[in-house]
Every structure is written in C-alpha cells, then in structure tokens.
A and B are shown apart, each in its own frame.
With several copies, the nearest count.
Chain A
C-alpha cells in the first residue's frame, strides 16, 4: 500500500492510501439508500482498494460516536446510535380531561377497591367498556388486585401508588366520604320536593364509602 500521494500519482493502478479509502467508504455508506456490501464498495472504488480493511478503520472511528457502523446482513450501513433514539422523536404532549366514564370507573375503584368489573357496572348502572379499563391500566392508575373468592373468581381492580401520587393522597382511605363531600359543598344535588330523604337517610350508604372494605388492606397493608 502506498503511503503518500506522490507515489500514487506515479502509478495509475496503485490504490489510494487507506485513510483515503476510509473516507470513500464513509461517504458511500452515508449516501447509500440501503446497506452496501464490500463487493459493491470495491466496484465503485478505484482499482486495488480494500474496503474490508477500510471498514475496520471506519468502524473503530465511529465507536462511541453518535453514529455507528452496523452490519446488516452481508452489507454495512450507518445508523444513529441506539441510545440517542430519543432525539429522533419529537413528542407533542397534549393534556386532555379524562372522560366521564373513565373518571367514574376510577372513582368506584378508588372508593370500593378491590372491586370487580361486575361491581363497577352495578354501581355505575351501565356496562364498563374495555377501553375505559385499559386506559386506566395504561395510565397506571389502576392495576389488577386479587381475584375475589366468589363463584367465577373474578379479577378485581385496585388503585396504584401512581394514582395516589397524582391525586396527592396518602392512601385511598383519605378520600372523603359522601357526607364530607356534601358538607364541603361538593355535592350539588338538591333533591326535588318529595324525594328528599330524611336527614340521615343516606348515612348507611355513606358508611360504605367512608370505610373502605376490608380489601383495602390487601393493597396498603403490607
């Protein structure tokens, strides 16, 4: 291999210096639309070039760089370093309010956990769509709890630490009960005349919510 350009000029068929060959394959691989094998490279390069050797040098040069030389099948290609993939992505974050169905489902799970789908549906009075549950699972606000020891052994849902973090709660037990909600003016139900239950009528119901079922311990006890 000639080391300097002067000698190269003397002979028409002498291969360019290795540094030059390295430049060549670097340019070729950069511009190529698909991986290229050494045969292809050699075909394009001046006579006497050794792309395989040049590749070794080039690979070393790109080690640890933002771009790496990778082998793809028989060919070679340049790719951005895998750890920098995040730069190739531009994230647009859009914040949207959770749908009513989702927030209701979430509320039921939070107040009644561990709760089965059937129980949620009973409370909501409508069926719970798969999408709603999936969304909450994906947000990591709910997760599967222990199966209920009832016929069919249905799965249950419980809220997660992520949920507690998001809502600024120590535990699901900190969620205010109905009475407190009403006292805080958060319940805007003004029952029409004739349906107003006697004061205290709803207490029984409230107790349910205030004192979470024993299952809560399952989640927060240990």
Chain B
C-alpha cells in the first residue's frame, strides 16, 4: 500500500497510534461506517475539528486498516474504499502539486473531509441536544383524558311543496293509471285490421265506406271505435300500397271509401 512508500519519509507511525488503532478494531462493529470511525480517530488528535490534521488522520485510518488485516479481520467494503481514497489523498497532500494534473487539489479534498467530519459531529451534538429537551409524555404532558370531538352526522330530510302535492296527486289518481297493456281490449291493432281487411277485400268490388269494415264490438264505444277506425284506415293504406285496393274521399270529412283493385 501507499503506506510503505511514505512511511520512511516524513511520518513514521507512532507506537501509540498503532495501539490506538488496534483498540478500535475490537470495536469495529460499533462504528457507523468509515466517517464515524474517522471522527472517532480524530478525537485522538485532541484538537478542534477545524484544526484537525487530515494527513495525520489519513495515516491513523490506514494504520487501522493495516491492523485489521494483520488480525485477519474482514472489513466492510466501504472501509476499504475509504482507505484507498485516503491513501490517494495522502499522496496528494505530500507530493508537490503536479500542474498537469486535473481535478481538485489535495488541500481541497482534505478541507472537504474536515468539513464532513465537523458537520457529522455537529449533527451528533444536535441530536443529543434534541433528545435532551423536555419531551412530551416525559417532561410535559398532554391532556390525560381527552374529550374527543364527536362527529355527529346529522341527516336532514327535506321535501318541498311540489313533492308533497305530486305525491298526493300520484296517490289519488293511481286508479286512473293503468298500464297500457292491460287495456288491450280497447285497442284494435293495425295487424288485426289488416288481417280483417285482407279477408274481406275480395268482396269490395264497389266503393265501400271503410267504417263498415270495423269489427263487431268496435262500433259503439267511442274509444274502441276510434282505435278501430284508425287501424282500419292504416290497413287500407297498406292494401293500396300493395296494389290490392283503391281509396277515395269525395270531400273533406266525407267517408273514406275502399274498393278492390283488380
């Protein structure tokens, strides 16, 4: 690893640091990821997070990873990704900047890491302050016996005068309402008239009033006569259409007369 390349130059890893890293390894499951571990490591520097030495921190972290390897402890992938990145960062920080190289400087990267650590620490502090606040149900309380709002659904029935009158009218005239089919006896249908006319048309050699063709029982009652007259007239028209009869009316309101057509 990069560790070896730079160890001999500027930063021999102090024994204390190696021991600290070893102690942390025991607790590796207790860390919430590499950033958390870095934050814990940074505390060993005993300085304000703003003045942390990222270089030193990188070294501490790499030592930790080395130790874990030596102890054959499997580290989660993100710890190794962080290790690789920190090794890269370390090289950036130690080597003089290469003007041909693209991307952010080692200082920029280090500053951002420091910012992340400071921000994480700040959030931890906030979380602690938040949880230490007076809390509902622990330090202050809501009403123990709440009186719930009862939602009363009231159905208000309504009707207007028209409804009332129509209801009454409906009731009082119910007897007048007869389903149409029930009154078929008062109706002489066109089919019936046509059948009847076809049977008798052969005899109509001379002009005959179609009224004389009305069936029995349909001549006296007004309703029945009206119905039979209409259907017989329609049937007569049908026969004319078929070319079997002729119709004539000498003047307005005069009888309609029918004659066989040969």
Partners in one complex: yes
Q: Which residues of A contact B (CB under 8 A)?
A: 27, 30-34, 44, 77-82, 84-85, 88-104, 106-108, 110-111, 122-126, 135, 139, 165-169, 175-178, 181-182, 184, 186-187, 189-202, 205, 209
Q: Which of B15-23, B146-154, B193-201, B234-242 contacts A (4 or more CB under 8 A)?
A: B146-154
Interface mask (B74-99 → A, CB under 8 Å = 1, otherwise 0): 00001001101100000000000000
Q: Is the CB of A194 within 8 A of B109?
A: yes
Residues of A within 8 A of B151 (CB): 89-90, 92
- 18 further interface pairs, Cβ-Cβ under 8 Å (given A191-B176, A192-B178): A31-B143, A32-B143, A44-B149, A93-B155, A101-B32, A102-B157, A104-B124, A106-B130, A106-B167, A108-B123, A108-B168, A123-B123, A126-B78, A193-B108, A194-B103, A194-B183, A195-B183, A199-B113
* Chain A residues touching B, majority SS: mixed
- 14 A-B pairs within 8 Å (CB atoms) are namely A27-B141, A33-B143, A82-B134, A88-B148, A91-B144, A95-B156, A101-B32, A107-B126, A125-B35, A125-B116, A177-B126, A178-B169, A184-B122, A199-B116
Give the number of residue pairs across the A-B interface with Cβ within 8 Å: 297
Q: Does B10 contact A (CB under 8 A)?
A: no
In the assembled complex, the Cα of A77 lies from the Cα of B126 at a distance in Å of: 25
* Chain B residues touching A, majority SS: helix
Q: How many B residues touch the partner, as a band?
A: 35 or more
Q: Is the CB of B165 within 8 A of A176?
A: yes
Q: Is the CB of A190 within 8 A of B140?
A: no
> Would A93 and B137 be within 8 Å (CB), given that A139-B157, A194-B109 are in contact?
yes
Residues of B within 8 A of A108 (CB): 123, 168, 171
Q: Is the CB of B142 within 8 A of A77?
A: yes
Q: Given B84, B161, B174, B180, which contacts A169 in the complex, CB threshold below 8 Å?
A: B161
